[in-house]
């Protein structure tokens, strides 16, 4: 038996004229945590809602646990969803919220209540079972929403930006909690977020979407190290990658940046001389060295320090941002020298924006 829990083949979704999902192919193995990430309007939520059955797809096949689900109504798909607004039933107490699905199935009362107590223990809700949702804090509501999903032992968990209504500190905490829960249950999870940090830290696989298309899919660090397109390169990583228009040198071994003095960076391979490219340099891959000898010499624009990290922006157009650990003696107006390892210079085609 194959280990694929969710399989999408050529999935299309149209809203009238609008093509929301374009030929989506994706297979998700049992037990993996997959993050769908992308800017708003990229189709990630539509894809998730299609998995839940809340949207019907217009083309392709969608399989969950080997069964074709295209026309199966949500209640028969056996998937659980955690909504951004939590969608707790406001007229039911926490215990009733948790046991709602069990009661619909006709589970005996004591058995349902025992299950609710068990779930409440794992989610830290034991003392709140008698409360109404309006009497809970944001984090507690979030836990009830998760508990409601867990109690069903569904074939897949679907998360629709579940942390975006929480404050920053709680969000970081819940991130770990959701991931720990996923591991403990051995669940298959699909997690939609617009926050690439959430996607990178929580997921086994990250799917980057844009305009209804999967731009790239892979392990988080794979996306970071080998972005397939300029879009992925710019989306993954914080602060974002610097992009500089550039040209391949006459010997094909280096790239000449469109900056004052046309600095030359070796690329460690040979490319067609004179080709126009876009060079991507991650802020954390640039290191500050002796300004006299460095290949890349830039005026310092702004220096911002958080104590542990220092962000230096060049006063050039396009602006180059550098991140260094610790502090920097540099100040605005000085000249800094920068180096970068050849393997860290990402090159993208100007037309197709794909990696070269």
Partner 1 sequence: MDISEAPAVNSRRRGNPVSRILSSIRDGNGFDILLVAAPLVFLVLLAGLPLIYNVLMSFQQVDMFTLGAWIRPFAGFDNYISVISQPEFPLVVRNTIIFVVGSMAGQFVLGFALALFFAQNFPGAATIRGLFLVSWVMPGLVVGAIWSWILAGDFGVLNAILRSLGLIEAAIFWKSDPNFSIWAVTIANIWLGLAFNMLLLSVGLAAIPKELYEAAALDGANAWKRFLTITLPMMRPTIGAVLSLGLIGTLQQFDLFPAITEGGPANSSTVAQYWAWQMSFTLYDFARGATISVMMFVLVLFASILYVRSTRSEVRG
DSSP secondary structure, 94-113, as one string: HHHHHHHHHHHHT--HHHHH
- Regarding 74 and contact with partner 1 (CB under 8 A), the answer is yes
Which burial class, exposed, middle or buried, applies to 316 when counting CB atoms under 10 A from its CB (0-12, 13-18, 19+)? middle
Q: Judge whether 339 and 287 are in contact, CB under 8 Å.
A: yes
Q: What is the DSSP letter of 240?
A: P
Judged by beta carbon, residue 74 or residue 218, the one nearer partner 1 is 74
Judged by beta carbon, residue 75 or residue 127, the one nearer partner 1 is 75
Q: State which of positions 115-134 bind partner 1 (CB under 8 A).
A: 134
Alpha helices in the chain (DSSP H): 44-52, 94-105, 109-123, 138-150, 168-185, 196-202, 220-225, 230-235
- Choose which of 16, 40, 104, 110 interacts with partner 1 (CB under 8 A): 104
Query: Nearest approach, Cβ of 53 to partner 1 (angstroms)?
Result: 8
Q: How far is CA 77 from the centre of its chain?
A: 25
- Regarding 105 and contact with partner 1 (CB under 8 A), the answer is yes
48 three-state secondary structure: helix
- Regarding 143 and contact with partner 1 (CB under 8 A), the answer is no
Query: Nearest approach, Cβ of 104 to partner 1 (angstroms)?
Result: 5
- Regarding 73 and contact with partner 1 (CB under 8 A), the answer is yes
- Regarding 152 and contact with partner 1 (CB under 8 A), the answer is yes
> How far, in Å, CA of 171 to CA of 346, rounded?
32
What sign has the CA pseudo-torsion 74, 75, 76, 77?
A: positive
The count of chain residues that interact with partner 1, using the rule CB under 8 A, is 23
276 three-state secondary structure: strand
> How far, in Å, CA of 156 to CA of 16, rounded?
29
Judged by beta carbon, residue 45 or residue 249, the one nearer partner 1 is 45
- Regarding 79 and contact with partner 1 (CB under 8 A), the answer is yes
Query: Nearest approach, Cβ of 296 to partner 1 (angstroms)?
Result: 51
- Regarding 91 and contact with partner 1 (CB under 8 A), the answer is yes
Residue found under tokens 């500190």: 169
Q: Which stretch binds partner 1 (CB under 8 A): 63-71, 76-84, 304-312, 314-322?
A: 76-84
- Choose which of 65, 87, 240, 355 interacts with partner 1 (CB under 8 A): 87
- Choose which of 45, 101, 140, 142 interacts with partner 1 (CB under 8 A): 101
Q: State which of positions 46-65 bind partner 1 (CB under 8 A).
A: 52-54
Judged by beta carbon, residue 34 or residue 98, the one nearer partner 1 is 98
Q: Which stretch binds partner 1 (CB under 8 A): 62-70, 72-80, 233-241, 295-303?
A: 72-80
Q: Which stretch binds partner 1 (CB under 8 A): 79-87, 112-120, 270-278, 329-337?
A: 79-87
Q: What is the DSSP letter of 81?
A: E
Q: What is the DSSP letter of 309?
A: E
Q: How far is CA 9 from CA 153, 157, 202, 322, in A?
A: 26, 20, 25, 42
- Regarding 108 and contact with partner 1 (CB under 8 A), the answer is no
Instruction: Tell me which residues touch partner 1 (CB under 8 A).
Output: 52-54, 73-75, 77, 79-81, 83, 85, 87, 89-91, 100-101, 104-105, 134, 148, 152
């Amino acid at each position: 038996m194959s280990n694929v829990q969710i399989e999408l083949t050529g999935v299309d979704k149209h809203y009238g004229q609008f093509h929301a999902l374009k030929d989506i192919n994706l297979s998700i193995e049992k037990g993996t945590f997959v993050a769908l990430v992308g800017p708003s309007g990229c189709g990630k939520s539509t894809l998730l809602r299609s998995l839940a059955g809340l949207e019907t797809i217009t083309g392709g096949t969608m399989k969950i646990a080997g069964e074709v689900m295209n026309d199966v109504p949500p209640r028969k798909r056996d998937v659980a969803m955690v909504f951004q607004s939590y969608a707790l039933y406001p007229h039911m107490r926490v215990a009733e919220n948790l046991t709602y699905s069990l009661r619909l199935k006709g589970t005996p009362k004591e058995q349902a209540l025992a299950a609710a107590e068990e779930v409440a223990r794992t989610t830290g809700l034991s003392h709140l079972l008698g409360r109404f949702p309006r009497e809970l804090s944001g984090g507690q509501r979030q836990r009830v929403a998760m508990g409601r999903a867990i109690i069903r032992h569904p074939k897949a968990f679907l998360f629709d930006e579940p942390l975006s209504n929480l404050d920053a500190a709680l969000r970081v905490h819940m991130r770990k909690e959701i991931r720990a829960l996923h591991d403990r249950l051995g669940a298959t999870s699909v997690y939609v977020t617009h926050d690439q940090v959430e996607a990178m830290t929580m997921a086994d696989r990250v799917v980057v979407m844009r305009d209804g298309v999967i731009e790239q899919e892979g392990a988080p660090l794979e996306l970071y190290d080998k972005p397939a397109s300029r879009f992925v390169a710019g989306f993954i990583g914080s602060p974002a990658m610097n992009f500089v228009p550039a040209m391949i040198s006459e010997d094909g071994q280096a790239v000449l940046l469109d900056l004052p003095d046309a600095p030359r960076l070796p690329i460690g391979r040979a490319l067609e001389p004179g080709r126009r490219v876009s060079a991507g340099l991650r802020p954390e891959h640039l290191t500050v060295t002796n300004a006299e000898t460095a290949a890349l010499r830039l005026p310092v624009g702004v220096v911002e320090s958080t104590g542990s990290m220092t962000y230096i922006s060049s006063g050039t157009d396009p602006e180059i941002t550098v991140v260094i650990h610790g502090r920097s003696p540099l100040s605005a107006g000085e000249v800094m020298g920068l180096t970068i390892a050849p393997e860290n210079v990402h090159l993208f085609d100007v037309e197709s924006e794909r990696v070269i």
